[in-house]
Structure 1
Amino acid sequence: MSGYGKWVAGRKTKWITLLLWIVIVGALTLIWPSVNSQVANNASNLPDDLQSVQAGVVAEREFPGGSGVPALLVWHREGGLPEEDLVHIGAVYKTLAELPLPHQNFVPPLGQLPPQALAASLSEDRSTLVTPVLFDKKADSEQLGEAVNELKKRINTATGADPSAARVDGEELSLRVTGPVGISIDATGLFENADVSLLIATVLLVLVFLLLIYRSPILAIIPLVAVGFAYGVTSPVLGKMAEAGWITVDSQAISIMTVLLFGAGTDYCLFLISRFRQLLKVEDSKSQALLRSITDSSGAIAMSGFTVVLALFALLLAKFGAYHRFAIPFSVSILIMGIASLTLVPALLAIFGRASFFPFIPRTPHMEAERARAKGKPAPKPKTSHNKGIGGLVVSRPWMIVGVTVVVLGVLASFASGIRFTYDILSSFPKDMESRQGFDLIGKQFSPGELAPAKLMLDTEGKVNGEDLKVVLSGLSYVDTVSDPQAGAVNKNIMGFDIEFKNNPYSLEAMSHIPALLATGEQALVDVGVDSPAGSVWVSGQTATQYDNKEVGERDTDLIIPVVIGLITLLLLLYLRSVVATLYLVATVILSFFSALGLGWIIIHYGLGADAIQGAIPLYSFVFLVALGEDYNIFMISNIWKKRKHMPLKQAITEGVNETSSVITSAGLILAGTFAVLATLPIQVLVQFGIITAIGVLLDTFVVRPFLVPALTVLFGRLAFWPGKHQEVVQPQLERAE
């Protein structure tokens, strides 16, 4: 490793390393597109063989008039909609029929109806009307947003006002666009608006933390420069991969990737910087100190980065598109950040040398004495400390520490069993967001199911009476309304029904009715003698899609979590060559994860008042926490493993814990802080993810790493290295100082 250090941070090579990074970033930026220019927010999350996807194909073929993605226009005026408003609404739909919007798929002929006919569809108090506009399924959120903006301009022209800006509880005519189109536009807008604020907040937080911890402006800038260069390479690499069609990226993945780069990337930089600072206090030569710090820390940094990369690559096993799309951006960004930490950061430290830590420059006792002599002052006395710190406490009372930490973490973990999950995307939106306000109006004035009706389709082979089946469907306890039967456009034997549920169509309760609805349709075919009804019944719509999202997401969670545990276990086993140490390191991180989940639920549910957390959070949090949590264990354990070769094990644990405590505390605070930034965004799924992940990092930083892991190492003793051997070093008897 010393040879590698000379290559990247030697007297001349440090400039070559810096120049290479500048050239690479500049060249890639010029020839390849940025990842932000290749974002696709309408990518499918489900495989083609799932029921809801197949149902969507059937619906588009057989019922093209209603197969688009609906935007629901919720018109509302307190006290009732007068005839003048209905005339304006009819005029809007007349223009939509004559001059369709971009990507418009279908509009009902409301422009041909008199106001009295529209009035029949008003809510009971005559204050609200819901009208649909259907758009092409292939249109992405940006295209849909442009179309809806054009729609609002036409509405402003027709009404002579701006209903979208009017309050929903006022006496003016208000308009809110909701339904799948409105929800999609708002979801994308939240992430797009969050990108810049998230980046600024993350950079400022990391900068403030570094200044507070190291009190050096140069040192605070070095990790940020490294992260900036890493992002400068990551963005065009991912952009080129997306342009070539190898991967698909969305706004959510890019937002979280940015946070991950700053958090994890700063950690890797600090692992090297802290060792460099330690050695500058015992080495007169800054070059020798840097080479030794590279030799001492590069293995742990490489192992930590590789652990995270491999864990994130496990997301490629996911069938759910959102999980799968995270794998490559996250893995590539951490891989490039790891390379920057092992090449660019050493080069920058070599360039600045001791000045990196200005104004608190670390010097050897000899240098301090020379400096004092030059100023005519007495040489400072060497600092001695009899405080054994946390390491001494762990070594002296391991049983107590293991007992207390396991009980505390276990109690917190027990709360994880009470977590309730939701797959309702609307619950992630701020209450004043347009699509959520529109949905709330629909739920108040009509059936919530009108937000996103389901379509039941059956290949009846001409044997089913549509009116009889409508009666059966209307009698289902969870169904609010059923349309008249419709015949397929291509296959006349395919019969379709539009069904509105009584519940919020995005709720778990509504999703649970999808299997029952399919079973009802299959039973209807069996009753008339259809032999194999299983492939002849389909349910399309947002509720069916959400049901499949839930099922696929749970399948991915059940698969990926054991795979990540297995991969990290294998890596630790190869690195430490100890079965026992590997097992308790993995076990402590898993315990920490469930504790974070439990404490996160306490805060989110009892503190913030949320009834449930998003169903995707456990998998996201697990992958990040288990992978990143092992970083700190690897850094500390590798230090102990090296020291025990030339000192007694308990002394190695004491010094290993104490030497790594400051840097891991600093790194943990920065990493937790960057994830906590997510909790400041107006997106509940990111708020919940940020809270749980930040808590997990803090538990690893302040409980698992300094107390539980070293205490277990003390208790296991020589057994901690099994099947490897540990030769206890006998410390020579020192004479007592009087």
Structure 2
Amino acid sequence: MPTPAPPASPPAAPSAPPGASGRLRFVLPLVLLLVWLALGGALGPFAGRLGEVSTNDGAAFLPRSAESTRVAQLEQDFRTESTLPVVLVWESSAGQVDDALRTAAGRALAAAAEVPGATGPTSPLLPSEDGRALEAVVQLRADLGPETKTAVKAIRDLAGQVPGAVAGVAGPAAVLADLSGAFAGIDGLLLGVALGVVLLILLLVYRAVLLPLLVILGAVFALATACAIVYALARHGVVRVDGQVQGLLSILVIGAATDYGLLYSARFREELAAGRDRYAAARTALRRSVEPVAASGLTVGLGLLVLLLSDLTNNRALGPVGAIGIACAVLSALTFLPAVLALCGRAAFWPARPKADGAGGAHRIWQRVADLVGRRPRALWIGSAAVLAALAACSPLLDARGVPQSELFTTAQPSVAAQRLLSAHFPGGSGNPAVIVADAAHADAVTAAAAQVPGVASVRPYTGGAPTAPPVVTAAGLVRLDATLADPADSDAALATVARLRTAVHAVDGADALVGGYSAQQADTRTTARHDRTLIMPVVLLCILAVLVLLLRSVLAPVLLAATVALSYLATLGVSALVFPHVFGFSATDPSVPLYGFVFLVALGVDYNIFLMTRVREETAALGTRAGVLRGLTATGGVITSAGVVLAATFAALGVIPLAFLAQIAFIVAFGVLLDTLLVRSLLVPALVHDLGGRTWWPARKPD
């Protein structure tokens, strides 16, 4: 027989009027509110100051132990200062380069060398083999920071003044300048869109005026506190921040703080509806919310901290920064919101104030869902699992080999157009060579070996920028050779050439040759990302399992919950593998995307199961497991669904930043959260628990 959903709990007796003790109960919430207002006023500006301590230099986020990283360190010995190349290219509009075009380009190149931040002599103007284009390289100081964007813009303006030619500016410095422009919206646009979307959803769902504003205010206070802490740590070199980490921190804090705030406010509303006064309701709601909110924060925080095991610096940077943000979200949800709701009481829900009728806020839609679970539990969980498994079967199709430069941005960028122009007339790796560092006594042998590698267009010794100077030799007796590749530096063909190049130069006895440069860095990053996924994903699951075992006092239930969110993650990857190339036009994903998606989805997906199962365990004590899961589903269905929609919308806001990496993360997390919320937590888990009955809590014994 199906188990019917149990009736709502009877109303509690109304509390006595506050009196003198009520005035004392008023003091603590007021003090907490004043403390948070003071913190918000003092720390609020830091939400817009992380850019001051951020770096978007890709070289700072290389794998620690990779060969290309060692080359990047050795490269500093060949220069008096670290530089970034800017590659200028002019294509003749008349079809062939003539003397007038060559002269005008030479003047523009000389002027570009005088741009503030430019260093050293420029390369000579090099004609293309087809005679239709010219190329030259200007070096910019690598420590320019935000001024790199200004310098690149000035060089673009100068290059564009050459008559009779189509001009472009490519190379690492140009890409960095475009990245800086893309990340310029992190502080204002992203935050504004995220908060606006969350506020709109809360207003529509709760049909209350004050409550959404209070929840949003709590999230803003949490973000300000997190940004202030991260700012101080980054300023002293304890953590590293870039635009990517900065954006993910904002989204994580806003999404988590809103979710935790919704869970607490729903429990507060239940207690008001049960007849308690605002202070008793706030106290009881806090007591019953501390465990699930703290456990949720712990799972997400631990999942992020596991990123410290990564060999990629940007992954390690997100770990502690994200964990700090989650801790601030938990703190705000369990202190600011209880305090302000205790002071506001039923007015927070105006105009839909809860009545003291004991209804507990149960929603008729979720009552019907609970009835369905009670009637057909086995069919529901098997059917849901089958749908997820079918989607998961497509997950191996997701290509995580890396995003080519032409797809790095989701909007048109000058550096991308310039790279296409450059590749049309010169070897694809022009201006961005593979860098070989070797013993100077074996330079000729290494040069000969490298020149024979298929895919290498030319090999030249590094002379410090002067075309006729001798090769630069360091005090350690090392020489640098620049190998121009035939294919674009970010292409699969270039990465394959790097592998062959390494094999060839490593075989030169006594040379101790190493290969670095942009293409080698991309190859090493892919290898490291695969290693990170193999190491970090199991550790994240073990951490989550440990928290769930302690929370639910069970072994079987945590294993089932972790398995369901892992299956949901694979299903999300399967959907992404289908929509990325065919809907969004992404040929591949960044190597870190599957790992970030796993950490976010598994940790955040478990959140909703934690919210559900802690309530089920609470109800099971009085009603038994099968009735308890139906009662828990009915009581938490509305708030968890609202939280899932809010979190999905928050991550979707990342799409306003025109970077493919963030757009891919936005889709994976948003879709995965909705899948967890609407299918896994609503049908799969309740139906599975209902089917298992008391066995769910093994090895503990609880009634069916």
Among the aligned pairs, what percent are the same residue?
28
User: Separation in 1 of the partners of 2:263 and 2:480?
Assistant: 62
For the structure 1 residues 30 and 607, does the alpha-carbon distance in structure 2 shift closer, same or farther, using more than 3 Å as the test?
A: closer
For the structure 1 residues 141 and 551, does the alpha-carbon distance in structure 2 shift closer, same or farther, using more than 3 Å as the test?
A: farther
| Counterpart position of 1:544 | 520
Measured against aligned partners, the alpha-carbon deviations of 1:179-231 in whole angstroms (never above 9, x if no partner) come to 11111111122112344211111111001100110011111101111011112
Quote how far apart the aligned CAs of 1:268 are.
0.5
| Counterpart position of 2:432 | 452
| Counterpart position of 1:113 | none
Measured against aligned partners, the alpha-carbon deviations of 1:432-481 in whole angstroms (never above 9, x if no partner) come to 2011001111122222121411123332645x745xx6555444222233
1:97-112 matches, within 5 Å, as 100-108=114-122, 110=124
| Counterpart position of 1:732 | none
| Counterpart position of 1:121 | 127
Quote how far apart the aligned CAs of 1:357 are.
0.9
| Counterpart position of 2:368 | 389
**2:402 corresponds to 1:423:** yes
1:203-242 matches, within 5 Å, as 203-242=195-234
Work out whether residues 273 and 358 of structure 2, in 8 Å CA contact, stay in contact via their aligned partners in 1.
no
1:50-449 matches, within 5 Å, as 50-62=66-78, 64=79, 68-80=83-95, 81-95=97-111, 100-108=114-122, 110=124, 118=125, 121-122=127-128, 124=130, 126=132, 128-137=133-142, 139-152=143-156, 155=158, 162=161, 173-365=165-357, 388-424=367-403, 426=405, 427-430=407-410, 432-449=412-429
Work out whether residues 9 and 17 of structure 1, in 8 Å CA contact, stay in contact via their aligned partners in 2.
no
Structure number with higher relative contact order (C-alpha < 8 Å, ≥ 6 residues apart)? 2
Quote how far apart the aligned CAs of 1:29 are.
5.8
Quote how far apart the aligned CAs of 1:125 are.
5.1
The residue identity in structure 1 corresponding to 2:684 is L
For the structure 1 residues 9 and 684, does the alpha-carbon distance in structure 2 shift closer, same or farther, using more than 3 Å as the test?
A: farther
Measured against aligned partners, the alpha-carbon deviations of 1:406-457 in whole angstroms (never above 9, x if no partner) come to 1110011111111112324512224620110011111222221214111233
Deviates more, 1:514-523 or 1:265-274: 514-523
**Which has more radius of gyration?**
1
1:636-675 matches, within 5 Å, as 636-675=612-651
Work out whether residues 118 and 140 of structure 2, in 8 Å CA contact, stay in contact via their aligned partners in 1.
yes
Unaligned runs of 5+ in 1: 111-117, 164-170, 368-381, 729-738
| Counterpart position of 2:506 | 522
User: Separation in 2 of the partners of 1:386 and 1:607?
Assistant: 33
Report the secondary structure of 1:448's partner residue: coil
**2:542 corresponds to 1:566:** yes
Work out whether residues 9 and 346 of structure 1, in 8 Å CA contact, stay in contact via their aligned partners in 2.
no
Work out whether residues 94 and 109 of structure 1, in 8 Å CA contact, stay in contact via their aligned partners in 2.
no
Report the secondary structure of 2:87's partner residue: strand
Deviates more, 1:210-219 or 1:32-41: 32-41
Q: How many residues align?
A: 674
Report the secondary structure of 1:429's partner residue: coil
Quote how far apart the aligned CAs of 1:394 are.
1.4
Quote how far apart the aligned CAs of 1:282 are.
2.1
For the structure 1 residues 46 and 360, does the alpha-carbon distance in structure 2 shift closer, same or farther, using more than 3 Å as the test?
A: same
Quote how far apart the aligned CAs of 1:681 are.
3.1
Work out whether residues 395 and 653 of structure 1, in 8 Å CA contact, stay in contact via their aligned partners in 2.
no
Quote how far apart the aligned CAs of 1:484 are.
6.6
Work out whether residues 453 and 504 of structure 2, in 8 Å CA contact, stay in contact via their aligned partners in 1.
no
1:606-685 matches, within 5 Å, as 606-685=582-661
User: Separation in 2 of the partners of 1:37 and 1:727?
Assistant: 58
Quote how far apart the aligned CAs of 1:88 are.
2.4
Quote how far apart the aligned CAs of 1:581 are.
0.3
User: Separation in 2 of the partners of 1:184 and 1:618?
Assistant: 24
Deviates more, 1:400-409 or 1:419-428: 419-428
Deviates more, 1:319-328 or 1:547-556: 547-556
Quote how far apart the aligned CAs of 1:487 are.
4.0
The residue identity in structure 1 corresponding to 2:383 is V
User: Separation in 1 of the partners of 2:409 and 2:219?
Assistant: 31
Report the secondary structure of 1:511's partner residue: helix
The residue identity in structure 2 corresponding to 1:509 is A
For the structure 1 residues 149 and 650, does the alpha-carbon distance in structure 2 shift closer, same or farther, using more than 3 Å as the test?
A: same
Match of residue 581, structure 2, among 570, 592, 605: 605
Measured against aligned partners, the alpha-carbon deviations of 1:246-291 in whole angstroms (never above 9, x if no partner) come to 1111111111111112211111000011122222222152332232
Unaligned runs of 5+ in 2: 1-14, 16-20, 463-469
The residue identity in structure 1 corresponding to 2:659 is I
For the structure 1 residues 386 and 631, does the alpha-carbon distance in structure 2 shift closer, same or farther, using more than 3 Å as the test?
A: closer
Quote how far apart the aligned CAs of 1:151 are.
3.5
**2:18 corresponds to 1:14:** no
User: Separation in 2 of the partners of 1:7 and 1:418?
Assistant: 62
Measured against aligned partners, the alpha-carbon deviations of 1:683-730 in whole angstroms (never above 9, x if no partner) come to 1111111011111101100010011111221222222111112145xx
Match of residue 458, structure 2, among 473, 481, 498: 481
| Counterpart position of 1:378 | none
The residue identity in structure 1 corresponding to 2:86 is A
Report the secondary structure of 2:77's partner residue: helix
Work out whether residues 416 and 601 of structure 1, in 8 Å CA contact, stay in contact via their aligned partners in 2.
yes
User: Separation in 2 of the partners of 1:227 and 1:542?
Assistant: 40
The residue identity in structure 2 corresponding to 1:456 is I
User: Separation in 1 of the partners of 2:452 and 2:366?
Assistant: 76
For the structure 1 residues 413 and 109, does the alpha-carbon distance in structure 2 shift closer, same or farther, using more than 3 Å as the test?
A: closer
| Counterpart position of 2:18 | none
**2:516 corresponds to 1:497:** no
The residue identity in structure 2 corresponding to 1:107 is P
For the structure 1 residues 341 and 491, does the alpha-carbon distance in structure 2 shift closer, same or farther, using more than 3 Å as the test?
A: closer
User: Separation in 2 of the partners of 1:516 and 1:257?
Assistant: 40
**2:62 corresponds to 1:46:** yes
For the structure 1 residues 490 and 335, does the alpha-carbon distance in structure 2 shift closer, same or farther, using more than 3 Å as the test?
A: closer
| Counterpart position of 1:596 | 572
For the structure 1 residues 385 and 220, does the alpha-carbon distance in structure 2 shift closer, same or farther, using more than 3 Å as the test?
A: closer
User: Separation in 2 of the partners of 1:220 and 1:406?
Assistant: 35
Report the secondary structure of 1:124's partner residue: coil
User: Separation in 1 of the partners of 2:297 and 2:363?
Assistant: 36
Quote how far apart the aligned CAs of 1:496 are.
4.4
For the structure 1 residues 496 and 8, does the alpha-carbon distance in structure 2 shift closer, same or farther, using more than 3 Å as the test?
A: farther
| Counterpart position of 1:375 | none
Please report the TM-score for the alignment, with normalisation by the length of structure 2.
Answer: 0.89
User: Separation in 1 of the partners of 2:64 and 2:363?
Assistant: 68
Aligned residues: CA RMSD: 2.9
For the structure 1 residues 7 and 501, does the alpha-carbon distance in structure 2 shift closer, same or farther, using more than 3 Å as the test?
A: farther
